[in-house]
Chains A and B, each alone.
Chain A
């Protein structure tokens, strides 16, 4: 290790840093300033048989199989806005920029990247890698429809660009969509170009009794969120438009948006099922008294559990899988028996081959995906 440390120190001149709070103890923590430096580190790691864990804001590190790592590569020094074409509604940013910072900047020009509304500390790279979407995906689609171009430092140290800074483009294979949700298994995201949406003139919320009925009565609302406390329809448009929507919903219009904070607990879970199945699972989760947030029309229920003694999570997972869904662990105690993913997808062998195309020696977040990919 001594000679490795010397070589790595030379390579990462000035980029070695103290370990990051929350990150596992490793021999090296490196904070590159640009994607080329990250690629050089990955190349060195591949040559040296070192396994690398990527670290953004650390907010979603609870996802996936545990990664045994020799090096932690952090993105906090890569947090610039590279190119913002305000009139073309596109922006290119580095991965370490926090979602909150990005959205605050965009808001000043009346735009949004529609990334998660409540994820304090989360970075753009982390959210893209984790494949997480904002509540407003019901109206604007998931994050995977937002990433137009990606620059990736691959697991063997190449710097590869895919897609383009264009809202419509079918030139070559869609690497941006492949990277979304890949959890670092292909390499480190060095930059992404995001498609932006204009913020509507007026925003409002209406509390409703039956979210299922509301979903069919409202015309393309931003979100219909049900929690253990209430169900709320989120609206945007002109003030006349949202007033008309509130009338259709038969509720009182509350001005502005207030998004619920994610439910927290010892286990934090994301249930993903066909949209029509949400009410059934909400009933079941609610019957245990667990805190939850259900995205009606989308098919995701986020919930938190303090004590999982009963095997109920496993049972619920099997039911979700039976309808083509999944129960994904977002955070769990270290000693849990609950697998982070559940059943492996049918396409696992193809996924393994795709991983190898980018990370042939399997050093980039090794084993994090289902099937130990």
Chain B
């Protein structure tokens, strides 16, 4: 569609210098060499740099927009490595990108950058049913993997709400979560190995199907690093056995605090359900308007609890959860009678953000985490913060692991609305941190929370993280301006004078 337009920029002499390659195109004799080299490597169809084409790539599902020099669509690890080497040659920053469903700006360039879009690395390369593992390309969609392994009685456990659209590579970059991470853990728990393109354009394998890799285990720091330590192109994931029995319960309450108390009580009683999700009334109303599922819109809050395992254990745990919920003030308890009812409840939960997107012109989805014992306190504060800024707030969150998702619906066209939303966001983060919590449970730091890192880490801690990053990327080529605040690496550590005549 844009081919007519793009011919213009492809022709070296016809191109108007617009400064987009300011870091790269200092030499006037080779005004657009990065693009030419990329095209020589990938062909013109897989290199996009027209401003209209780049509109698709320079933002994520959050609120920030960035600037891309070009977006490329490599199909192999070697092509990714070639793109990184070219970017290095022209000193252009590189930002890796999956499906763009992130919310914290991890894939949004903080400065003009080459976007390496990994969606075409979308082959499921191997499924090993006996070892319960799979090798997948970074661009494989989360839900596609679970669908491909269903006939083996296996699934891929992390299930973000965006699982039908998000890529596993993107999940690795953000260490994504989801409702079922309560019992199963977030993405990092399910990543056994990966093939990664380093900042120097080399390809390195980290981890394997064997447990406990020898030497420093780099998997943990790469997962969740938002493309700042390398570009992961292939991923070895752990698959999880489908449970023989599932009990999904919908419990209603007349206050959000009562629902939160039921969650804290369940964990304290030593039960770790597969999922413990809470939704408040405004969110229920929005979801009901979207899916028409006969949801209990009169309740102030609902708890969606799921227990999995053998029938005998599931039944016993369901009884305990019900008892704790009633002690906390539950007004009704309903158990999904069949798979269709269960599917409806999960559809309600996972449609929440879509429902709001349909109902409000704009929304801002928060992500903080607090100790499970502090849920009641912090939720009370969150509502008060929303009210004090006159904001319309809806809540749906992974209550079982203390992961809050206050969602503010607003209209960006209304003057001052964005400032109010951002001011409230920072207050909510501060309230969470004051309760012993942290900045993000699953969405990541990205651009959104970079400058709040100092709330949870001392300068010496941030400096250590910056040094770690330099160990992978000494020149700051990969996704610069993300995760760590500017100046994180300013903590000068001086060993001091050597003792008199001490060292030989």
By a beta-carbon cutoff of 8 Å, the part of chain A in contact with chain B is: 3-4, 7, 43-44, 46-49, 85-90, 110-111, 131, 133, 141-142, 144-145, 154, 156-162, 164-178, 180-182, 185-186, 197-199, 219-220, 237-238, 240-241, 243-245, 270, 272-276, 298-300, 320, 323-326, 328, 341-342, 344-348, 350-351, 353-358, 369-371, 373
Contact = CB atoms under 8 A, between A and B. Distances in A.
Given A181-B213, A298-B211, 18 more contacts: A7-B499, A46-B495, A47-B495, A86-B268, A87-B373, A89-B372, A111-B270, A142-B211, A145-B185, A156-B493, A159-B460, A170-B177, A170-B445, A240-B313, A272-B210, A324-B209, A325-B210, A328-B214
A353 B472 contact: yes
B464 interface: yes
A347 B218 contact: yes
A324 B463 CA distance: 35
A320 B498 CA distance: 47
Contact of A347 (B204, B211, B310): B204
A271 to B, nearest CB: 9
B442 A351 contact: no
25 contacts: A4-B502, A43-B496, A44-B499, A144-B217, A158-B493, A160-B460, A170-B444, A171-B449, A177-B217, A177-B219, A178-B216, A180-B220, A181-B213, A185-B216, A237-B309, A241-B312, A241-B313, A270-B212, A324-B209, A341-B214, A347-B204, A350-B204, A369-B216, A370-B214, A371-B215
Nearest to B503: A49
Contacts of B464: 154, 158, 160, 162, 175, 357-358
A177 B495 contact: no
B438 A351 contact: no
Given A48-B499, A48-B503, A181-B216, A350 B309 contact: no
Contacts of B130: 275-276
Contacts, number: 294
B478 to A, nearest CB: 13
B467 interface: yes
A173 B465 contact: yes
Interface stretch (B57-65, B90-98, B386-394, B397-405): B397-405
A3 B500 contact: yes
A164 B438 CA distance: 7
B214 A350 contact: no
A369 to B, nearest CB: 5
A345 B461 contact: no
B475 interface: no
B373 A88 contact: yes
Contact of A173 (B312, B458, B468): B468
A238 B205 contact: no
Contacts of A161: 457-458, 461
A345 B215 contact: yes
A197 B216 CA distance: 26
B142 interface: no
A131 B128 CA distance: 26
B312 A244 contact: yes
Interface string B152-194: 0000000000000000000000110100010001101100000
A178 B218 contact: yes
B347 to A, nearest CB: 24
Contacts of A131: 212, 217
A89 to B, nearest CB: 7
A342 B214 CA distance: 9
Contacts of B132: 275
Given A173-B225, A237-B310, A373 B216 contact: yes
Contacts of B220: 144, 174, 176-178, 180
A366 B107 CA distance: 38
Given A244-B311, A353-B471, A300 B215 contact: no
Contacts of A164: 437-438, 456
B467 A275 contact: no
Nearest to B184: A141
Given A170-B186, A170-B441, A172-B445, A3 B210 contact: no
B248 interface: no
B192 to A, nearest CB: 10
B453 interface: yes
A299 B211 CA distance: 6
Given A47-B498, A161-B458, A276-B130, A166 B212 contact: no
B404 to A, nearest CB: 11
B206 A347 contact: yes
Contact of B401 (A168, A185, A348): A168
B369 A169 contact: yes
B149 interface: no
